[in-house]
Structure 1
Amino acid sequence: MRTLRIRTFIMLVFFFISLVPWLFYVTVHFMETKTLSFAKSGPQSEILQRHLNETIHMIEAGSDKWRDPNWQNQLHTQMQQVKMEVDILSASDQEIYRSNPERHGSLSSTERFSVVADGHLLGRVVIYLPKSSTVQMISMFAGLLLAFFIIGVEMRKFLLNPLEKMSFAARQIAAGEWEVELPRSRITEISEVRDAFEVMVKGLQKSFQKQAELEEERRFVIAAVAHDLRTPLFALRGYLDGLEQGIAQSPEKTTKYLAVCKEKSAQLDRLVEDLFTFTKMEYVERKLPNNTIDFKLIIQKSIDSLSPLARQKHISISSHTTDDCFISGDMHLLERMMNNFLDNAVRHTPTYGEIVVQCYKEDEKVNFTIRDTGPGFSWEELQRVFEPLYRGEESRNRSTGGSGLGLTISQRIVRRHGGELIAGNHWEGGALLTGWIPARNMNGIRGGISL
């Protein structure tokens, strides 16, 4: 379907409005004059002047025949041919002859003169000339009205109807009807607006679907975490009740009860912190700070914070990092990410196991890996390890104390920083997490590192 631009359409409209009245005028002019010549048009045209001169000559030459019926018939015939009318009056203003007793209003221009012979006034003559310009002006006005009518119909077809349909479609979309057929138009600008509107509708539909999915995920997370909070809460309340009621009668039993309470409170703290971070990552779209961060220091801080837990299980944590691992981002989120990695590794690594952390720069990326000597991921876990609240069947009782949100949160933190995270198994056994984050360009930076 060929399209027109609005400026081209408007130019065609003006051309059509000018053409139609002109065609009407030319047609009427040709019907009246039998010629297409417009030179000296009006009552002073050559043809009209010639007819007028012939009529005046006939009246002056036949002054002695004014009352002769034959002469009057001859004059009447000539008046009809030239589309004129005449009145002949005597010297005393009495009517001698009138070519048309019922004169109509189409003749208004007049030519008056007196006929004198031998110094005596014989009479007066009034000649009524045709009003051809009036008919032509009426025809032009009629052509103009017709042009406006046709233009109005076409403008409604090409401009108004598509816009009205698009407005109706917008109201349907606002009401939640996504399957709406947008109108097409042969005007380029309207067609472009339609295409842009269609892209916007698809974007809104995709955003709405994503929002619905996020809402469903949010409800699932809240319900699951609320359910998981009950277990440590019940255990904590039970042991506290035991302490309050004096069930723990020996110092050893009291110490055991307090250790369990401390463990359950720590588990509650992890659940709440994971839920808060997950919600923050999902719904708070804030711009990341442009700080220069040494990723090597983040790794070391996380190792230091997890070392006490690792020593309890006799797990060794070693790091192999280079000095050029500089990135940009949020220090708190990155520390949270690395803590999740190491906490997950410590919880799943058996006693006397080993955890190895590596970090190095390659091209424009800072690569990192976290490997443990635990059981690794099963095939099903590898497919769903980054899903919120997913845990393998063997750990559904939360014996390891995890919330099921740690790796989900960590992956989203990595992606927020422009990188990617992949879960897998090392060829020698154990889980292997591999990721990268865009490196910070250190050219021109002086004065150390901003933390």
Structure 2
Amino acid sequence: MKTLRIRKFTLLSLLFILTVPWVFFVAAHYLQTGTLSLGSNRLHNETLQEEFNRMIGFIETNSSNWGSVAWQNQLQAQLQNMNRDALILDASDGIIYNSDPKRQQALSRTEQFSIIENGQLLGRIVIYEPNTSIISMLAIITGLLLGFFIVGVEMRRFILKPLGRMSSAARQVAAGDWEVPLPSSRITEIAEVRDAFKVMVEGVKEANQKQRKLEEERRFVIAAVAHDLRTPLFALRGYLDGIAQGIAQTPDKLAKYVAVCREKSAQLDRLVEDLFTFTKVEYLEEELNRSTVDLRSILQNAIDSLQPLAEKKQISVKLNHTAEDMRVSGDPHLLERAISNLLDNAVRHTPSEGQIFVQCSKGEHQAKFTIKDTGPGFSAEELGRIFDPLYRGEASRNRSTGGAGLGLTISQRIIRQHGGELTARNHPDGGALLEGWIPLG
């Protein structure tokens, strides 16, 4: 839809307001003079004056025929040609001839003279003609009012009504109605405001939905964390109470109680660390402490930190990489945390005497890595929710089967913060396959 700038609209409106009275004036002039030429007005007036003088002469020289019907018909024809009327009175002001009494009420009296012959008053002549100045002025005023009226209607249609609907839409949006239709306008500035307002509404709508989602996620996190904290705390308190009350009387039983307390405290430490990292990458959105690091060294460090846990389950972890440069720009601590979470997930879900294969390669402007295990792989439901916060793939939140459910979530969001991506699927030969990439530094 073509639009019109408000400046151009204003100039066109002003031009229209000035044009309409001029058109009315020209029309009135044509009706009075029978010509559209304003320059010939002087010549026209001279011609009318000559005809007027001849008519006066015709009346003066035919005083004896004033009462003749034939003569009156000739005078009537001359008056019609000149767009005038006449009244002839005798010496005692008696009416001898009156061309059009009704029309004379709307005309102005312009000429009045007496006819005297041999010193005797024969009668008086009154000539009426249209008041052209009043008609022209009325035509100009009428055209001016009509011009203002039409411009006012169009201004209301193109400017005032869209602005009014825009104001109403703003109030509806403020009340929470995001689907309110926005008015269109043929005025460019109003159309631009409409488009900007639409973008703003979409932004506010998206921000509101994101805020609502974050609020729901926050409530869920609080409830899930309370559940995860309660279980190890309850067990830790129970065993500590047993030690304090002397239930663990033998050294073996005391050592068992202490081992369980250490295990539960380690679970609490891991949970708190996961929650802190999740909060940092999800809510605080702190700037990364970027530096140039070798992705191969990040992978090797993560493998070394998980090696004791893997050896405990007799799982072999193999790293395969090319000799190409794998430098990336990122936060070494967060990147190692992301890879460690992925490896920890693989170790926990790989059966004893299984294998984990870690591969690193260079793509087009990317450093790619994959982590494959020989475990059971992901179920269809898990593939759809594997990166959801606090999702652990079981209905109950039994910590013996896994962590807090934040590891993969943290890993994906750390990778995304570095401009990359992390995905999960099942390998065709069996087992889970995690694939990721990070832009080269």
TM-score, scaled to structure 2 = 0.76
Alpha-carbon distance in 1 for matches of 2:434, 2:130 = 103
How many residues of Structure 1 are paired with residues of Structure 2 in the alignment?
Answer: 413
Specify the alignment match of 2:371 in structure 1: 370
- In structure 2, relative to structure 1, the CA distance for the partners of 1:27 and 1:425 (3 Å cut) is closer
Q: Which amino acid aligns with 2:5?
A: I
C-alpha contact 2:158 2:186 (8 A) present in aligned 1: yes
Q: Are residues 427 and 34 of structure 1, via their aligned partners in 2, closer, same or farther at CA, if it must alter by over 3 Å?
A: closer
> Retained in 1: the 8 A contact 2:280–2:286?
no
Q: What's 1:444 paired with?
A: none
The answer to whether the 8 A contact 1:84-1:130 is kept is: no
Give 1:369's aligned amino acid.
T
Post-superposition CA distance 1:4-44 (Å, at most 9, x none): 42366445424422321111101221233332221165xxx
Q: In the TM superposition, what is the alpha-carbon distance from 1:136 to its structure 2 partner?
A: 1.9
Change (3 A) 1:313 1:51: closer
Specify the code of the residue in structure 2 equivalent to 1:48: N
Distance 1:383 1:29, change over 3 A: closer
SS in 1 for 2:178: coil
CA distance, structure 2, for counterparts of residue 421 and residue 129 of structure 1: 98
1:337 CA displacement: 0.5
Match for residue 387 of structure 2?
A: 386
Amino acid across the alignment from 1:439: L
Structure 2 equivalent of residue 178 of structure 1 = 178
The answer to whether residue 399 in structure 2 is matched with residue 398 in structure 1 is yes
Establish whether residue 137 from structure 1 lines up as the match of residue 137 from structure 2.
yes
Alignment of 1:74-89 (within 5 A): none
Match of 1:301 in 2: 301
Q: Offset of 1:333 from its aligned partner?
A: 2.2
Distance 2:426 2:269 in 1: 29
**Unpaired stretches in structure 1, ≥5 consecutive residues:** 86-102, 112-126, 441-451
Counterpart residue type for residue 162 of structure 2: P
What are the Cα deviations for residues 429-451 of structure 1, in whole angstroms up to 9, with x where unaligned? 443322112222xxxxxxxxxxx
- SS at 1:387 equivalent: coil
**Displacement of 1:156 after TM fit?**
0.6
What is the one-letter code of the residue matched to 1:46? Answer: L
Pair 1:352–1:79, CA change in 2 (3 A) = closer
Q: Distance in 2 between matches of 1:325 and 1:5?
A: 57
Q: Conserved in 1, the CA contact under 8 Å of 2:84 and 2:128?
A: no
Aligned-partner residue type, residue 372 of structure 1: D
> 2:4 aligns to what?
5
Matches within 5 A, 1:248-259: 248-259=248-259
CA distance in structure 2 between the partners assigned to 1:405 and 1:12 by the alignment: 66
TM-score if structure 1 supplies the norm length? 0.75
CA offset at residue 176 of structure 1? 0.7
The 1:150/1:379 distance shift into structure 2, 3 A limit, reads closer
Distance 1:40 1:380 in 2: 95
How does 1:232-251 map onto structure 2 within 5 Å? 232-251=232-251
Q: Distance in 2 between matches of 1:298 and 1:316?
A: 18
CA distance in 2, matches of 1:23, 1:392: 83
Q: Deviations over 1:92-144 (max 9, x none)?
A: xxxxxxxxxxx999989x99xxxxxxxxxxxxxxx999863454234213211
Which residue in the other structure is 1:275 paired with?
Answer: 275
Aligned residue in 2 for 1:20: 20
Structure 1 residue aligned with 2:115: none
- Residues 363 and 59 of structure 1, relative CA distance in 2, 3 Å threshold: closer
What is the DSSP-based 3-state SS (H/G/I as helix, E as strand, rest coil) of the residue aligned with 1:369?
Answer: strand
- Cα distance in 2 between the residues matched to 1:382 and 1:175: 39
Q: Per the alignment, in what secondary structure is the counterpart of residue 368 of structure 1?
A: strand
- Whether 1:332 and 2:333 are equivalent positions in the alignment is yes
C-alpha deviation, 1:396, in angstroms: 4.2
2:45 to 43, 48, 51: 48
Aligned residues of 1:324 and 1:360 also touching (Cα < 8 A) = no
C-alpha spacing 1:325/1:129, structure 2 compared with 1 (3 Å): same
Deviations 1:312-343 (A, max 9, x none): 44444332234511122233321220121122
CA deviations on 1:151-205 (whole Å, 9 max, x unpaired) are 1011111221122112211210110112322223344554454455445434543
Give yes or no for contact 2:4–2:187 (8 Å, CA) kept in 1.
yes
Whole-Å separation in 2 of the counterparts to 1:394 and 1:129: 106
- The whole-number CA distance in structure 2 between the counterparts of 1:395 and 1:359 is 36
Aligned mates of 2:168, 2:398 — CA distance in 1: 55
Give the 3-state SS of the residue equivalent to 1:181 in structure 2: coil
Identical counterparts, % of pairs:
60
Partner of 2:422: 421
